[in-house]
Amino acid sequence: MNQRDTSRRDFLKSCATGVAALRLASKAWPADACAEAMPLLAAAEQAASAKSRVVVARDAALRGPGTAVDSNRILSLLDRAMQNLFSLDHPGEPWKQLVHPGEKVGIKVNALGGRGLSTNAQLVAAICERLQEAGVRAHDIVIWDRDTDELEHAGFRSSTADNRVQCFGTDRVDYENELETYGSVGSRLSKILTQRCDVLINVPVLKDHDGAGVTIALKNMYGVIHNPNKYHPNGCDPYIADLNMLPAIRAKMLLTICDATTACYEGGPGYKPQYCWQNNALLVSRDPVALDYTGWQVIERKRSEKKLKTLEADERPPRYIATAADERHRLGTNDPRRIEVVEVAA
């Protein structure tokens, strides 16, 4: 794993350690050495206390006169979200920071809900366009989930052509033979993740879950293992957090782009149109825990609007989010004081 692949959360953890070390060392250093070290200490403290940014980008006109998402507007919405996440002015620059030419990029979608409640194909096409402009070759991009038929039912076109973006499920390549383990989890990982991805872009859907409370970024990784049904007891806690600790997931997942164009506030994870709404938004972050916490609040607000119980009162709060943020996992933050939510409107 190269230096760029080190995740933001690991960087912040190392910064916190560095702050403590610099403080201890400064007590024993001569005055002139302390003076030279102070800028380093200040920089480390600033990085360690930095907030996780979650961009919520909205476009009320995303669908135009019909129900289909407009491909030009979704590209523009993605650009605004990425520029605000990376604090850059040009639409192509964030992608050049995220990926390098020659790397293989996996786009892990969620196709469980069919055309009604799956990752939007127009959004994924926009991501592929920006990746190629950043120098990633088309055949080094793979759009994937568990099953090829599910992908096609969700509106994706399967492809293994050498000159095109790839699109297929793990059913075409199988899972690794050996179990990867962490805590309560022991699973075989998709060969797409282990063998065809240097960088993983997670593109889940914003939706309710009948057991876990919500299913957004972290739970979307259930689609990369051979035995997800094993990990649903106790609201999927601590299984979701433990799964995301597996090195191939933690090191490679550099970005989450949550498709909240159509979202679900009740009755998930399957598609039930009576509980879905056209939210016309994207949630984008490099911290999947902060994104899940933010998405959870969006769902709670919609539940309140619909006069439904909170997920806590419904006895299915997403406890796994706090577990993912705890001292053992440190996958991100669920502390609203350390989450910077940036609202972007068209």
Query: Three-state SS across 241-265?
Result: HHHCCCHHHHHHEEEEEEEEEEEEC
pLDDT at position 102: 97
Residue 53 pairs with which residues in a beta bridge? 340
Tell me the pTM. Answer: 0.88
| Reported confidence tier of residue 21, pLDDT bands at 50, 70, 90 | very low
* Cα angle: 54, vertex 101, 70; to 5 degrees: 50
| Reported confidence tier of residue 346, pLDDT bands at 50, 70, 90 | confident
Mean pLDDT of all residues belonging to the chain: 90
SS3 68: coil
Does position 42 have pLDDT exceeding 60, yes or no? no
Structure tokens at 112: 């469980």
Query: In this predicted model, which residue has the larger pLDDT, 23 or 273?
Result: 273
Average pLDDT of the segment spanning 263-275? 97
Please say whether the dihedral angle defined by the alpha carbons of residues 135, 94, 82 and 251, taken in this order, is positive or negative: positive
pLDDT at position 64: 74
Indicate the range of 25-39, 80-94, 104-118, 266-280 predicted with least confidence.
25-39
* Residue pair 187/247 in contact by the 8 Å Cβ criterion: no
* Residue pair 138/231 in contact by the 8 Å Cβ criterion: no
CA separation for the pair 144, 122 (Å, rounded): 15
Does position 231 have pLDDT exceeding 80, yes or no? yes
Average pLDDT of the segment spanning 263-288? 97
